[in-house]
Amino acid sequence: MYNANSFQLFFFNPFTRDRRPVPSHWMAYDQRMAFSCAPTSTSCVLFTVSYVTLSYITIKTCSPNDKVWNTFVFKNLLPRNYNTFEQIVFSNGVFYCLTNTGCLSLFDSSLNSWNVILGQLPKRPGSNGCFMTEHQGEIFLIYMYSYMKPTVLKLDLTSFNWTERTSLGGLTIYASALSSESRAEQKKPSGIRNCLCLSVYHGFKRTCIYHKVDEESKICFKWKIHDPYENIWITPPLNLLDLPLFE
């Protein structure tokens, strides 16, 4: 969580009310952060792209309870139509960073290296937003459109090209502007599978779209008016109902 007045950052568990401090850092309104694993782990790495100029990109990392951020400066090899990093996802030691123009960059947290993939750009004409998520080492990208069904792409980790998918293989993806979660096939008859549950923001109206990838079906649930960055998907603990939050 972030306090824009004091620049204070901290991890917060809404179920246990536990807080873990992070060094202060100024963040832009649309700046993204991601972390590698549970902040209770000593190996947890918090990552952000903090500053971009025409010549250089500044990366910052830290771990919970650190006093200062680690700073890394790299030459900017992004295409000049870059505007901002729209999505950041961690998988197998690497932070995958996607720009608003569809350019992918990788930060290896063990080597502290930064690589820009100047290959196929997945940005689709007419798209009004995208979400990226990870499941068991595989990277998925979803593009949203106003008047057509979402497009699902999967990253080839060898060629770093994106291929379109017509099925999720039983996977269900829950996505919003700040976080995305994925779940494998639920075997119960009433289980959700091959679905996209997308938290979408259109002007001053927020909608949750339930879309079956392998079928022509879509259900929209209207939510209350909210800032697009105030809602996230999180995974609750298995003992959720036993926690003080529900007493």
For residue 143, the tally of other CB atoms under 10 A from its CB is 20
- pLDDT (average), residues 206-215: 60
Does 96 fall in a domain?
no
Kindly state whether residues 147 and 207 are assigned to the same domain: yes
Does 92 fall in a domain?
no
Q: How confident is the model at residue 128 (pLDDT cuts 50, 70, 90)?
A: low
Does 10 fall in a domain?
yes
pLDDT at 204 over 50: no
Kindly state whether residues 105 and 126 are assigned to the same domain: no
Q: How confident is the model at residue 110 (pLDDT cuts 50, 70, 90)?
A: very high
Kindly state whether residues 58 and 147 are assigned to the same domain: no
Predicted local confidence at residue 221, as pLDDT = 47
Kindly state whether residues 172 and 60 are assigned to the same domain: no
Kindly state whether residues 109 and 172 are assigned to the same domain: no
| Domain of residue 80, residue span | 1-87+101-113
| Higher local confidence (pLDDT), 218 or 54 | 54
Q: How confident is the model at residue 9 (pLDDT cuts 50, 70, 90)?
A: confident
Across 19-33, 104-118, 156-170, least confident range? 19-33
Predicted local confidence at residue 62, as pLDDT = 92
For residue 29, the tally of other CB atoms under 10 A from its CB is 7
CA-nearest of 2, 11, 7 to 63 is: 11
pLDDT at 159 over 50: yes
Kindly state whether residues 58 and 105 are assigned to the same domain: yes
Predicted local confidence at residue 203, as pLDDT = 47
Predicted local confidence at residue 12, as pLDDT = 82
| Higher local confidence (pLDDT), 171 or 221 | 171
Tell me the whole-structure pTM to 2 decimals. 0.81
75 touches 95 (CB < 8 A): no
Q: What is the CA radius of gyration of the chain?
A: 18
Tokens 């998988």 map to which residue?
91
pLDDT at 186 over 70: no
**For the chain, first and last CA: distance in Å?**
25
DSSP labels, 183-209: EPPP-STT---SEEEEEEEETTEEEEE
pLDDT digits (tens, 9 = 90+) for 176-185: 777 777 777 6
- pLDDT (average), residues 79-105: 87
Kindly state whether residues 18 and 132 are assigned to the same domain: no
Predicted local confidence at residue 169, as pLDDT = 76
Counts of helices then strands in the chain (DSSP H, E): 0, 20
Predicted local confidence at residue 191, as pLDDT = 56
Kindly state whether residues 16 and 61 are assigned to the same domain: yes
3-state secondary structure of 79: coil
Predicted local confidence at residue 89, as pLDDT = 92
Mean pLDDT, the chain, whole residue set:
78
pLDDT digits (tens, 9 = 90+) for 10-59: 778 878 888 888 888 877 766 788 889 888 888 999 999 988 888 999 99
Kindly state whether residues 109 and 129 are assigned to the same domain: no
Predicted local confidence at residue 45, as pLDDT = 94
Kindly state whether residues 28 and 79 are assigned to the same domain: yes
Predicted local confidence at residue 114, as pLDDT = 96
For residue 13, the tally of other CB atoms under 10 A from its CB is 15
130 touches 137 (CB < 8 A): no
Does 95 fall in a domain?
no
Paired with 3 in beta bridges are 8
Distances (CA, A) of 131 to 119, 154, 234: 20, 12, 15
Does 74 fall in a domain?
yes
| Higher local confidence (pLDDT), 70 or 146 | 70
For residue 212, give both structure tokens: 């079956």
Domain boundary among 113, 147, 165: 113
Tally of structural domains, the chain = 2
Percent of the chain with pLDDT over 90: 22
Residue type, 91: S
Kindly state whether residues 152 and 212 are assigned to the same domain: yes
Kindly state whether residues 133 and 15 are assigned to the same domain: no
